């Protein structure tokens, strides 16, 4: 039976019945007259030569309804890498034959603009996915061509353009009245994937609810089936208002900002595909600065700071209680996942799952103690409303720099 169950405070839009991609794309093309759609793709240059991105480009070249496709390239890319990425995206054409835009975040013009922000007390932070996403959002706002912005990762190995259509549909359809849509999906091959979601995020939210009692932000976050998914779409009004972290806390930070800036009835989650496959990161249990270990530190830091902003007090005694509750909840989750895997004939390494929980509990302690020492932590990237208020011409300068990079590169 298809899953139509609604849980939590966020509406779920399910993948029911046989997919009908032609209908979705036909309707999105109609809706794009009123709500033009931009796609933002934060990417490292290393992904340009991988198998996933070429498949994504092949699929995007068949999408008929995009007004803009903006690729935000980072990862110490030089001029030749910039040209190579633009050549790769040459087949992706938007409405009226307009080509994709590749942003050279490591180029001298963009670097100079980021330094200018720092001198004005608006430091956007270090290079990374958060900054690449933010710069691309700024370009979309500067051009004023789109009203809806979608984003997804560039390492999806089984990408089909149905994912993009379903992601855009709730926010592009004017009759549905959503401002924000979060994607979700299953992540299963011959085993269960999504360790950070399964063994950290879900158990942590449940243990925090058990320790703290009902808190609206926790109820909201727990309603998302895949809170750490990199796929979402939103209106440009939210793009302008949201502040986001520059680190791996990006997804949680975005959800927390949406919670602040939008009514719950205008937020939904949408099932994108039957299964989702992308590259798998190493656990890095002995290195808190790499792999999933680093990711969990950043995610926990983002969550703790957002809860603190709503009045939750974090001190050493409470942290010990929270960590103990998390470990117990995560261990119970391992038993549940083991039984699920057994029923479905999947591989399941219980020892590896236990090691992951031990690593994640250490990361949670690291994040908690870091907060106790420095409650403010690394600042979030300023939202575009603040930047435009402080520097009214900055968005225009950003647009000009991006377009001049493209012209001088001969593309």
Q: pLDDT, tens digit, for every residue of 91-133?
A: 999 998 899 999 999 999 999 999 999 999 999 988 888 999 9
Dihedral over Cα of 274, 278, 282, 285: its sign: negative
pLDDT at site 2:
55
Residue 159 Rama label (left phi>0; alpha psi -120 to 50; beta) = beta
Distances (CA, A) of 391 to 142, 145, 151, 387, 394: 13, 21, 26, 6, 5
> 9-48 pLDDT, tens per residue?
999 999 998 889 999 999 999 999 999 999 999 999 888 8
User: Which residues have CB under 8 Å from 137's CB, separation 6+?
Assistant: 40, 149, 239, 384
The answer, as to whether pTM is greater than 0.85, is: yes
Which of 87, 63, 83 shows the shortest CA–CA distance to 152? 63
Q: Is the pLDDT of residue 77 over 80?
A: no
What are the residues facing 188 on neighbouring strands?
Answer: 192
pLDDT at site 164:
98
Query: 3-class DSSP state for residue 182?
Result: strand
Q: Is the pLDDT of residue 225 over 60?
A: yes
Q: Strands 101-104 and 232-235, how do they pair?
A: unpaired
Query: 3-class DSSP state for residue 302?
Result: helix
pLDDT-above-70 percentage for the chain: 99
pLDDT at site 1:
39
> 154-196 pLDDT, tens per residue?
999 999 999 999 999 999 999 999 999 999 998 999 999 999 9
Give the mean pLDDT of the chain.
92
pLDDT at site 84:
92
What would the DSSP string read from start to end of 330-341? Answer: HHHHHHHHHHHH
> 59-69 pLDDT, tens per residue?
999 999 999 99
pLDDT at site 341:
97
pLDDT at site 226:
94
Query: 3-class DSSP state for residue 374?
Result: coil
Two structure tokens written together for 16: 């029911």
> 356-396 pLDDT, tens per residue?
999 999 999 999 988 888 887 777 899 999 999 999 999 99
Question: In which band, very low, low, confident or very high, does the pLDDT at 3 lie, cut at 50, 70 and 90?
Answer: confident
> 189-224 pLDDT, tens per residue?
999 999 999 999 999 999 999 998 889 999 999 999
Q: At what angle do helices 291-308 and 202-212 cross, to 10 degrees?
A: 30
> 269-299 pLDDT, tens per residue?
999 998 888 777 899 988 888 899 999 999 9
pLDDT at site 156:
92
Query: 3-class DSSP state for residue 231?
Result: coil
Which of 252, 257, 256, 332 shows the shortest CA–CA distance to 300? 252
């Amino acid at each position: 039976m298809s899953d139509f169950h609604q849980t939590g405070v966020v509406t779920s839009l399910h993948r029911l019945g046989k997919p009908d991609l032609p209908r979705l794309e036909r309707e999105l093309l109609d809706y794009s007259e009123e709500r033009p759609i931009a796609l933002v793709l934060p990417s490292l240059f290393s992904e340009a030569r991988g198998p996933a991105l070429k498949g994504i480009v092949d699929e995007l070249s068949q999408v008929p309804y995009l007004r803009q496709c903006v690729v935000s390239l980072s990862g110490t890319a030089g001029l030749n890498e910039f040209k190579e990425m633009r050549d790769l995206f040459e087949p992706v054409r938007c409405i009226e034959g307009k080509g994709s835009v590749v942003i050279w975040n490591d180029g001298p013009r963009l670097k100079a603009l980021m330094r200018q922000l720092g001198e004005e007390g608006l430091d956007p932070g270090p290079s990374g996915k958060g900054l690449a996403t933010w710069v691309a959002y700024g370009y979309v706002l500067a051009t004023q061509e789109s009203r809806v912005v979608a984003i997804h990762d560039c390492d999806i190995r089984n990408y089909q353009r149905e994912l993009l259509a379903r992601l855009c549909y709730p926010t592009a359809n004017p009759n549905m009245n959503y401002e924000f849509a979060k994607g979700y999906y299953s992540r299963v091959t011959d085993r269960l994937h999504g360790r950070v979601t399964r063994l950290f995020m879900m158990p942590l939210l449940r243990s925090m609810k058990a320790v703290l009692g009902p808190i609206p932000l926790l109820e909201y976050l727990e309603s998302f089936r895949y809170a750490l998914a990199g796929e979402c779409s939103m209106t440009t009004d939210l793009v302008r208002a949201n502040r986001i972290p520059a680190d791996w806390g990006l997804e949680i930070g975005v959800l927390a900002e949406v919670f602040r800036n939008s009514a719950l009835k205008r937020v939904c989650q949408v099932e994108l595909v039957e299964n989702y496959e992308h590259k798998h990161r190493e656990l890095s249990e002995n290195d808190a600065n790499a792999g999933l270990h680093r990711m969990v530190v950043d995610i926990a830091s983002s969550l703790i700071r957002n809860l603190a902003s709503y009045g939750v007090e974090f001190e050493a005694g409470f942290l010990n209680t929270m960590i103990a509750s998390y470990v117990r909840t995560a261990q119970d989750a391992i038993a549940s996942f083991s039984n699920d895997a057994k029923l479905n004939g999947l591989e399941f390494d219980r020892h590896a799952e236990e090691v992951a929980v031990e690593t994640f509990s250490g990361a949670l302690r690291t994040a908690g103690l870091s907060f106790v020492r420095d409650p403010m932590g690394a600042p979030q990237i300023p939202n575009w409303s603040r930047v435009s208020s402080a520097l009214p011409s900055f968005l225009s300068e950003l647009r000009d720099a991006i377009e001049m990079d493209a012209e001088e590169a001969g593309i």
